[in-house]
Amino acid sequence: MRVRKLLKSDREAIINIINATENLTAAERDCAVELLDIYLTNPLQNDYFFIVATDSSDSPSGYVCYGKTPLTDAVYDLYWILVDRRLRHKGIGRALLEHTEEVLKRQGARMLVAETSGLPAYETARSFYRRSGFAEESRIKDFYKPCDDLITFVKRF
């Protein structure tokens, strides 16, 4: 496995990963693709950054999207971390997160924030964050819709 910056040639593979992620809603898929396209089409933007993990043929097997949280001192948001569903539980997500954390630490980041849903379909994501050293910092009941809480995880550097 290799971890590198996302290239324009990765777009189709990343969209396939997004569309195959079973717990994402249509709106979440659209948002993930929108951020991808902003990153790929606007080289002057500084809001979103993408890193991919690739297999031996340099084909993406997962990706992470992150960016600096506006109006903060060295706080970053982890917007998306998705792995091809056929390749999960092989350390790809962990490798992507560790690489992202190293990049952020070199840039002087002091905190990485990840938000996720409280629905049962997102338990795997919540478990991943906990295993990766994040702490649940807050929960807003019924945020996304009734019975769907917003859960915020934080990792301090």
User: Percentage of residues in the chain with pLDDT exceeding 90?
Assistant: 99
Angle made by CA atoms 112, 116, 122, in degrees to the nearest 5 = 130
User: Percentage of residues in the chain with pLDDT exceeding 70?
Assistant: 100
CB count within 10 Å of CB 80 equals 22
Domain ranges in the chain are 2-156
d(CA 109, CA 124): 26
What's residue 128's pLDDT?
A: 97
Q: Does domain 2-156 have CATH number 3.30.565.10?
A: no
Per-residue pLDDT in tens (0 to 9) along the chain, 157 residues: 999 999 999 999 999 999 999 999 999 999 999 999 999 999 899 999 999 999 999 999 999 999 999 999 999 999 999 999 999 999 999 999 999 999 999 999 999 999 999 999 999 999 999 999 999 999 999 999 999 999 999 999 9
